[in-house]
Amino acid sequence: MRQFLKFIQEFWVAATYVGSTNTVLSRAMLVNQFQMLKRKIPILHLIILVNSLGLAIAHSFHAPLTLSASLPGAILAICVIRFIRRLDSWGAMEPEDIREALRQTLVNSTLLAIGFGTWGLMLFGYGTREHQAFTAIFIFMSAIGCAYCLGSLPKAARYMIFFSGLPMAIRLMVTGDMLLMGMGLNLVFVSILVIRMLGVYFTSMEELIESREAIVDQITRSEVAEARALKTAMTDALTGLANRRALTLSLDRLINDASQGDDTVPVRFGVAMMDLNGFKPINDTYGHAAGDEVLITVASRLDKLIRDDGLVARLGGDEFAALITTAQTDADCMAYGRRISDAINQPITIGDTTLRISGSCGFAIYPVSGANGDLLINRADTALYHCKRNRSVDVAVFQLDLEEHLRRRLKVDQALRSAIENNEIGMAFQPIFDLTTGRLISFETLARWYHPSIGHVPPDEFIEAAEQSGLIADLTSQILEKSLTAAASWNSAISIS
């Protein structure tokens, strides 16, 4: 008995199996079956209802009323109830719920096929041979129509023909009437053909869905790869921050939105350029690995500080930049810059070593400092350069006089290199006397430089430029050589300093 019950249970599971949800393809198949079935179930209800009413009317004078009318009434009520329940329950569903709905549809359609087929066989015994043929045709055509409606659920379609159409065909074949037997044999062949066609149809549908899912999967893979490539192209590999390209695109987009009057973006915002002071000695002393750790730590601090107010990016080396939507005035920029400087100035521990660096920060404000991205970045860089030259200043906001000063400084740097190469630095000798005797005892050498387009350049300006551009050794050597050449013709008692 236990083995028999186990067999029945296994048979039921196999008979009502509609698919699995284990793979992406199987889930897609269930969803597509479900979508197609949703559109055709109302048609199935209509076929059953119309044909049952037709049979009931045709047999109203030959069969008992309880048989000809009561069952169609029950079928009508069941169809209406099932249709209403489908409208309520067949909304957005998970694959597992869809699988259960398909299984329930398989069971219900099978019961409907058995009930409809049994009712047809019971009506077959009433009326003339013409009525019997009429009944067989109605039942069989109803089964075929319902099977096509259930084509996306092939097991249900086969059950509809097996339990509704084929019994009627077999009943025709055992009547002993040659006409009816011929009809029955024809209906058997038609049943086999329809079942075969439904199998081909479902196989084609499976192949189509599999092909479509393969295309979708390929497109998804391509989109994921494209998104990864785009992220890589927009991200600094070391720190994970945005890179120069991402900063430029974000800045241009923000300027475009602001210029078009987009209410979601501020009409003023700050662009900051940041640089680390003392980073190169760390790289030289502790190695590039330690330098990378410093950059990663600083990047994390800056991202945490600026993330909610804009975007921070690493441009390369120890240079960072940021878009800060809340920095809209000079005072805002100065306050934000100090917060940035404080964050950078915090000690950094690498292993057993504690390192300290500082930061400089230059700001430019849109649209006061510039109306396009390149100009804003250049002017923020000008403000940063001002900080680097004036060690006592760690935060600066761009002003026009800073740019004028930078232009002169760049012009002086370029002209100074040429002046040293062409031996254009002039000399002046300031005499030094002994106040007690009034005798000339030495000369102090003074460097002087006149440039045709710049004019007289003060010594403190071009000497500082030489120091910062690495030309001071060449300048000193040239001045010393000229001084010694001039002193060679003096009285040996006069020295030079």
Structure tokens at 379: 């002017």
The mean pLDDT value for 65-80 works out to 67
pLDDT more than 90, % of the chain: 17
Alpha carbon distance 355, 318 (integer Å): 15
Give φ, ψ of 490 to 5 degrees. Answer: -85, 170
- pLDDT per residue over 343-401, tens digit each? 999 999 888 888 989 999 999 999 888 888 888 998 898 888 888 877 778 899 988 77
Q: Which residue has the higher pLDDT, 280 or 16?
A: 280
CA distance linking residue 395 with residue 109, whole number of Å: 79
pLDDT at 92 over 50: yes
> What would the mean pLDDT of 174-196 be, rounded to a whole number?
86
Cβ pair 152, 205 in contact under 8 A:
yes
Which tokens in the block code for residue 226? 């494209």
Instruction: Decide if pLDDT at 12 tops 80.
Output: no
Vertex 468, ends 357 and 393: CA angle to 5°? Answer: 45
Share of the chain above pLDDT 70, in %: 89
- Token code pair at residue 286: 């502790």
Confidence at residue 85, expressed as pLDDT on a 0 to 100 scale: 58
Whether the bond into 367 is cis, omega within 30 of 0: yes
Q: What is the mean pLDDT of residues 327-342?
A: 92
Name which of 131-135, 195-199, 350-354, 403-407 the model is least confident about: 403-407
Is the pLDDT assigned to residue 24 strictly greater than 90?
no
More confident residue, 169 or 207: 169
Q: What is the mean pLDDT of residues 322-337?
A: 92
pLDDT computed for residue 87 by the predictor? 45
Region 187-195 average pLDDT = 86
Q: Tens digits of per-residue pLDDT, 115-128?
A: 888 888 888 888 77
List pLDDT tens digits, range 417-456. Answer: 877 778 877 787 788 887 887 787 787 878 888 877 777 8
Average pLDDT value for residue range 163-188 = 87
Q: Of 75-79, 104-108, 133-137, which gets the smallest average pLDDT?
A: 75-79
List all residues 6 or more positions away from 151 whose beta carbon is below 8 Å from its beta carbon.
Answer: 36, 40, 157, 198, 201, 202
**Taking a C-beta distance cutoff of 8 angstroms, is the pair 324, 272 a contact?**
yes
Q: Are 41 and 105 in contact (CB under 8 A)?
A: yes
pLDDT-based confidence at residue 179 (cuts at 50, 70, 90)? confident
Cα separation values, 100 from 29, 39, 440, Å:
14, 18, 115
pLDDT band of residue 14 (cuts 50, 70, 90) is low
What pLDDT does 1 receive? 61
Which has the higher per-residue pLDDT, 65 or 12? 65
pLDDT value for 4? 54
pLDDT at 265: 75
Mean of all residue pLDDT scores within the chain: 81
Tokens (6 digits) for 467: 């120091």
Query: Highest-confidence range of 215-224, 316-325, 453-462, by mean pLDDT?
Result: 316-325
CB 376 within 8 A of CB 324: no
In the beta sheet, which residues pair with residue 271? Answer: 323, 364
Beta strand extents in 203-318 (DSSP E only): 269-277, 310-316
Phi then psi for 390, rounded to 5 degrees?
-110, 95
Pairing label, strands 319-324, 269-277: antiparallel
Highest mean pLDDT among 10-19, 74-83, 99-108, 214-223: 99-108
Does 252 have pLDDT greater than 70? Answer: yes
- What is the rounded distance in angstroms from the CA atom of residue 23 to the CA atom of residue 74? 41
pLDDT of residue 302: 94
pLDDT value at 464 more than 60: yes
Widest Cα–Cα separation across the chain: 160
How many residues does the structure list for the chain?
497
Burial 106-137 (b: 16+ CB within 10 A, else e): bbebbebbbbbbebbbbbbebbeeebbbbbbe
Q: How confident is residue 313, by pLDDT bands cut at 50, 70 and 90?
A: very high
Q: Is residue 220 scored above 50 in pLDDT?
A: yes
* pLDDT at residue number 10: 59
Average pLDDT over residues 129-146: 85
CA distance 270 to 260: 18
Is residue 292 classed as helix, strand or coil in its secondary structure?
Answer: helix
Write down the pLDDT at residue 88: 46
10 Å CB burial of residue 485 (0-12, 13-18, 19+) is: exposed
Residue 318 clears pLDDT 80, i.e. is over it: yes
Q: How does strand 348-350 pair with strand 319-324?
A: unpaired
Q: What's 69's DSSP letter?
A: I
Check pLDDT > 60 for residue 83.
Answer: no
Alpha helices in 150-177 (DSSP H): 154-160, 166-173
Q: What is the C-alpha to C-alpha distance for residues 364 and 251, in angstroms, rounded to an integer?
A: 12
Q: Which helix (H) or strand (E) holds 496?
A: strand 495-496
